[in-house]
Structures are given as structure tokens and as C-alpha cells.
Amino acid sequence: MKSGSTHPNRDAQPLVRERKFVSHGISADAVVSILRAWCAPDGQFPVGELESIYFDDPLLSSYWEKANGDALKRKVRIRWYREAGMPQGSANAYLEIKDRVGAARDKARFRFTASIRDLETRPLEDPWFPALLREQSANAGFPVPDALVPTVSIRYRRHRFVCPETLSRISVDYCISSTRANGRLFPGAATSLPLSLDVVICEAKSAAVRALPFGEALSRLGMRMESFSKYGCLVERIMQGGFT
């Protein structure tokens, strides 16, 4: 990604390689305990809750890129960080445009100010969301297709660590759920929601692939290294009526 690279509100997001350890039915506490033994808590945001609204076109091209295993993938989302007693006014939010080529990830991330109440309570069919996306992407110098509309919102808890041996950034995501979906894209979504995923994801991000000192411990716990998309999994569940 080259456009917008000097934008004053762009957060530095270097090209990284990502590896994910995924578990089903294992407690997040067990995973976090292993990471605490090997890693240091992130100095700025060790624990938090995130919510993202994902955008896709009416053909769900982004979803199918993941489902079909395409080597080139793009995700567009608006993300914010939730806290106890969220402000009723405006707060920082982020436009994120994430490209993946194989295991490598390139992400452009731009800060802007938005109404948290609007982000969290408006239905995803509301034209306010596409207008916000077009405005912020234009401001960032990363215009996106006009066809993009909100698809689902995804909320989860996250622990963050830094591995001192490899300098990898580590996250543990859990309590993953969705309470909103675009009824125009998914007419039966109301009968499927809310949805939650009984999964814990430990993701390591680094500039180069290196052996992770805690990898064996995660494997013994029952985690497996595999590709996993929160967006892809939840969209699939919504399309299937939430029964799988």
C-alpha cells in the first residue's frame, strides 16, 4: 500500500507475517497463563475489548476470497476500543484496510473521530455507515469502492503481549461475538443473532518467521496452528442460520 503513506493520522503498520494458534473448547485463561510465562504484557494496551464493523460488497467478495483460499485478500473495517463507561460523545476510531498476500499482511490504519453511540447502536442498514466509510477513506487517501456496505459487527476481548526473545507481538482473542448483521445482505440474520464463537485465537505477528518459544506449550494445551477468520466464520454461521 503506497497511497496515503504520509497521512498525519496514519498509524505505522509495517509489513508483518502472522501465525495463528486456534483452539475450540479451551479456556482463554489457560492460554493467557502460558503467554504470561513466556512474554511481557504489552506496555500500552495489555487488555481490552474491541469492536469492528466489516464492509463488503453485495457479492460478499471479501468473504469469498477467504472461503475460497485466495492468495490475495482484502478486508475493510472500522474499529474502536471499548471501555467501561464508554463516552457518550466522540472518541477515536480507526479505518483499517488490510491486505494479505499468503502469510504476509500489509495494513493501513487511520485514526478519526466518531460518535461511539452511533457506531454501537445504529443498525447496519443505516446509510450513515457507507457515508462514514467514504468520507474517512477519502480523507485518508485510500478511496474504496462505493459498493461497500456494512456486513457484520464483531466484538471480542483481547490480551496483548510482546515476546522478548523474538520481538513478536502476541494477541489472545476470546469471547468473540456478533450482535448485528446487515438484514439486506442476510435476510434471515435476525433469527441467527446474537452469535458467539467458542474459540480462542493466539496470533503472533513479526517481521520474519521465527520459532516461537511458547509454541510447543500451546500445542500441548491443544491449540493448532491454522488459518482462522472471525469475519469468515461469523458470516458463514449467519448464512447458514446460525445452526452450525
Identify whether 76 is part of a domain: yes
The Cα–Cα gap between 126 and 91 comes to 20
Identify whether 4 is part of a domain: no
Q: Which long-range contacts (CB under 8 A, 24 or more apart) does 146-149 make?
A: 147/57, 147/58, 148/55, 148/56, 148/57, 148/76, 149/55, 149/56, 149/57, 149/58, 149/124, 149/182, 149/184, 149/185
10-residue mean pLDDT profile of the chain (244 residues): values are: 53 71 94 97 92 96 89 91 67 90 79 93 96 95 94 97 94 97 91 93 85 94 94 93 51
Identify whether 123 is part of a domain: yes
Identify whether 101 is part of a domain: yes
Q: Work out how many domains the chain is built from and give that number.
A: 1
- What pLDDT is recorded for position 243? 41
The Cα–Cα gap between 59 and 134 comes to 19
The structure's pTM equals 0.89
Identify whether 220 is part of a domain: yes
Nearest-Å Rg of the Cα atoms of the chain is 18
- What pLDDT is recorded for position 244? 39
Identify whether 166 is part of a domain: yes
- Pairing outcome for strands 90-101 and 10-11: unpaired
CATH at residue 20:
2.40.320.10
The Cα–Cα gap between 206 and 197 comes to 26
Identify whether 184 is part of a domain: yes
Identify whether 2 is part of a domain: no
Domain enclosing residue 203, as ranges: 10-239
